[in-house]
Amino acid sequence: MTRDLFPTTVIGSLPRPACVRDLILDRKKGIVTHDQAREHLDDEIKAAIHLQEGAGLDEITDGEWRRESYVKVFAERVHGFAPDINPGAAGLNYPAVIAPIESSGAIAAHEVQFLKKHTGRRIKCTLPSPYIIGRRMWHSDHSTSAYPTREALMRDCVPILRREIVAIREAGAATVQLDEPWLSAMVDSRFREREGISAPHYQMDLCADLINQTVSGITGIDTAIHLCHAHFNRRHVSEGEYDLIMPTLAKIRVGTISMEYATPVSGGYSALSKFPDGVRLGLGCVDHCDRRVETPQVVVDRVERAMRYIDRDRITLHPDCGFAPSVQNPMDLDEACQKLKAMCEAAAILRSRYG
């Protein structure tokens, strides 16, 4: 598929208005039914579509406004998990697997179906990678009777995710993105120590192998992964340059690898000299954790730094991460809109300069 130079997209989530946050949490508590929540969310998501189209994005999502979080969506729509019994960072609890997992219907294909009715833009749909599911939602106190190891859960996620990618493709998505923040977070030795990762290269290769199993042989849809240093309330949970993971990235068979580069915690652009050939770079060129709205020229400067290492026709522009990967993450929707507009204006400048 031929695309313009410097296409623009989002990573996934947009900040949720208070009414959307409340609705998702009320649905979780049983105060409103799923059908009631869906009816109201349909109306709200039309606003998310208009916001992204108005900003000028070439490819959009539904803002992940139907989801509590980018990873919990798997547990919400696959049998075998118990909610909120697995302590996480920032006081957020996660589900834990307690029984062999079994698909209970669509995870995200219905999101694409709704978008397809209301936009003519390219559609991206996001799913958590099998590795992050195992990392976030396996706990030794709750999960061992169903899955003796994290790896066993991760491997059982693969066929479910493969079926969902096919359903997403059939629903009309142009891109499926697997979210995998732990792969890039592992560059940080303090993160590895906190999480008890004593064999990082084994874990990195395991992650790459699981991603390849998930996408291998699936055609008719662009594939991507997203890496970041993870964040909550404008604070990252890891930091560091990406040199350590570059050999692993070369093993992953996707079309686009999206990475944070606007934030200072990523340590600069020099690691791109080792970025794998034959794959697009999704360049994080807007810092979602910085309250200051970038000017288009600031974004242009960031992209041109990346162009010292990556050919211009291999670069896609997007924010560093989703603006609010969980419903609890307090972020500003107006700020996000202005940042997306600046990014799209920067893409227009770059196209005129290099097209």
Residue 279 belongs to a domain:
yes
User: What is the distance between the alpha carbons of residues 271 and 309, in angstroms, rounded to a whole number?
Assistant: 9
What per-residue confidence (pLDDT) applies to 328? 87
Residue 172 belongs to a domain:
yes
Residue 4 belongs to a domain:
no
CATH number for the domain harbouring residue 195: 3.20.20.210
Q: Please state the rounded mean pLDDT for residues 181-197.
A: 94
User: What is the distance between the alpha carbons of residues 320 and 260, in angstroms, rounded to a whole number?
Assistant: 4
Q: Please state the rounded mean pLDDT for residues 104-123.
A: 96
Residue 1 banded pLDDT, cuts 50, 70, 90:
very low
Residue 131 banded pLDDT, cuts 50, 70, 90:
very high
What per-residue confidence (pLDDT) applies to 56? 98
What pLDDT digit, counting tens, does each position of 59-103 carry?
999 999 999 999 999 999 999 999 999 987 667 899 999 999 999
CA 271 to chain centre: 21
233 pLDDT exceeds 80? Answer: no
Q: Please state the rounded mean pLDDT for residues 27-50.
A: 96
Q: Please state the rounded mean pLDDT for residues 35-39.
A: 95
Q: Please state the rounded mean pLDDT for residues 14-35.
A: 95
Residue 12 belongs to a domain:
no
Residue 295 belongs to a domain:
yes
What per-residue confidence (pLDDT) applies to 88? 78
Residue 106 belongs to a domain:
yes
Residue 277 belongs to a domain:
yes
How many domains does one find in the chain? 1
Q: Please state the rounded mean pLDDT for residues 303-308.
A: 98
Encoded tokens for 316: 């896609």
199 pLDDT exceeds 70? Answer: yes
Residue 3 banded pLDDT, cuts 50, 70, 90:
low
Q: How many CB atoms lie within 10 A of CB 301?
A: 13
Mean pLDDT of the chain: 95
What per-residue confidence (pLDDT) applies to 237? 83
Dihedral sign, CA of 131, 133, 136, 141? negative
What per-residue confidence (pLDDT) applies to 109? 98
Helix 18-29 and helix 34-55: axis angle, to 10°?
Answer: 150
| Those residues with Cβ within 8 angstroms of residue 250's Cβ, 6 or more apart along the chain or in another chain | 276
pTM: 0.96
Residue 87 belongs to a domain:
yes
341 pLDDT exceeds 50? Answer: yes
| Those residues with Cβ within 8 angstroms of residue 4's Cβ, 6 or more apart along the chain or in another chain | 58, 351, 355
Residue 191 banded pLDDT, cuts 50, 70, 90:
very high
Its domain, for residue 279, covers: 18-354
